[in-house]
Amino acid sequence: MINEYLNFVEEWCEVLESKAFARQHGKWSKEQPTTFFHFKINKKYTKIIQTDHGNDSVHAFLENETLDIYKAATWNAPAKDARYNLFRDFNHILEVCEPNGGYLYKGKKVYG
């Protein structure tokens, strides 16, 4: 199922990058970005990876079958309980997502 929604994941990463850039440098800065988001598809989960000044960390996990989004607990494992669903909540995710991942904390789920 994940292959059908790769453009959603790409757009999510692009929005995270633009928000990171605006937060670090200002929206109209001509400086080069230092924070990038990309993803790696694995067997069960797709990792959303943040690269900041060359250091990688997992921003979130996306379950490939259900498209549920989880906060990262470790590099290799998601936290329990899905925070959002990529298909159902996509537009809302693009509004509330932040590079620091605060929107993924349990109890911080925001609905529009």
Q: So where are the chain's domains?
A: 2-26+33-104
pLDDT of residue 78: 98
pLDDT of residue 89: 95
pLDDT of residue 112: 46
pLDDT of residue 80: 94
Q: Which residues of the chain have pLDDT under 50?
A: 112
Q: Which residues contact 37 (CB under 8 A, 6 or more apart)?
A: 12, 13, 14, 16, 17, 20, 48, 49, 50, 51, 59, 99
Q: pTM to 2 decimals? A: 0.86
pLDDT of residue 26: 63
Beta strands in 19-91 (DSSP E): 35-41, 45-52, 55-63, 68-71, 84-85
pLDDT of residue 40: 98
C-alpha span between 58 and 79 (Å, rounded): 12
pLDDT of residue 4: 82
